[in-house]
Amino acid sequence: MSVAAVLTAAGSGSRLGHSLPKALVPLGGQSLVAHAARNLLAARAAGDERVRVLVVTAPAFHLDAIERELAGFADEVALLVVAGGSTRQASVAAGLAALLADPRSQEVDVVLVHDAARPLAPPSLVARVVDAVRAGHPAVVPGLPVTDTIKRVAPHRGVAVEPVLETVPRGELRAVQTPQGFARDLLVRAHAGGAAHAHDEALAASDDAGLVELLGEPVWVVAGDERAGKITTARDLAVAQLPTEDDE
């Protein structure tokens, strides 16, 4: 039995102010996708278990560039680079299909799904997710407590002032990150169940745990990590380059 990871890297870099795909945008001298792959492969779960198969979903016109970027990892892991889809859900589905079709994945029973947009998620977080799945929780997400006060509103398109419906108790809320971890069969079933909406941006799931929830199956949360923040804007990229306590 072993672990595989699907790393989604098919997003554009437009909101970062780059012409490059987001996965190839540099951070501290290395691309986001290289950082993310390195941290996934550096993780060691209980019993020194690590990722054995890595599937990366990339923009269709940049497959060769992503492959070159990750060529240095080919000796560490069975590596596949495939074209992503029109939504995140579709990209993960494409990666999962490639994983299932590859004979090197026959022993895989745990699948991580991670975003290259969270390149600094540390190996300790990856290991924590794998360990929780191995402990008998078939769907695991990392999450951080929400510190802001959260209001639920009645949104109105084009209206600047929206009415508040309620204040949501923040003690019950978690801001969810990746990597998310799943028993392989459950993830396959979840994507099959949500396949009809995979290519519709308005209906596609924003994370894989959401597809599991639609099956009525439980999802479990482990402690997240602030270093696993998502890089979406130029400001996020600048913040990611600031030193952390672990760097000092």
Handedness of CA 150, 154, 157, 162 (dihedral sign): negative
Residue at 122 is within a domain: yes
Domain count, the chain: 1
Query: At 101, which CATH number?
Result: 3.90.550.10
Tokens describing residue 173: 């809320």
Q: How confident is the model at residue 203 (pLDDT cuts 50, 70, 90)?
A: very high
- Does 247 have pLDDT greater than 50? no
Which residues, other chains included, contact 155 with Cβ-Cβ below 8 Å and sequence gap of 6+? Answer: 162
Over residues 11-23, mean pLDDT = 80
In a domain, 248, yes or no: no
CB 208 within 8 A of CB 189: no
pLDDT tier, 152 (very low <50, low <70, confident <90, very high otherwise): very high
For the stretch 41-90, pLDDT in tens is 999 999 999 999 999 999 999 999 999 999 999 999 999 999 999 999 99
Is residue 219 domain-resident? yes
Report the C-alpha gap between 176 and 143 in whole angstroms: 4
Residue 54 lies in a domain: yes
What pTM value is reported for the model? Answer: 0.94
Task: State which residues form the domain around 182.
Answer: 2-142+175-240
pLDDT digits (tens, 9 = 90+) for 181-196: 999 999 999 999 999 9
Q: Is residue 155 part of a domain?
A: no
Element (H, E) at 213: helix 208-214
List all residues 6 or more positions away from 105 whose beta carbon is below 8 Å from its beta carbon.
4, 53, 78, 99
Going by pLDDT thresholds of 50, 70 and 90, the confidence category of residue 21 is: confident
In a domain, 158, yes or no: no
Q: According to the model, what pLDDT value does residue 11 have?
A: 82
Instruction: Assess if residue 161 is contained within a domain.
Output: no
Distance CA 186, CA 133 (A): 12
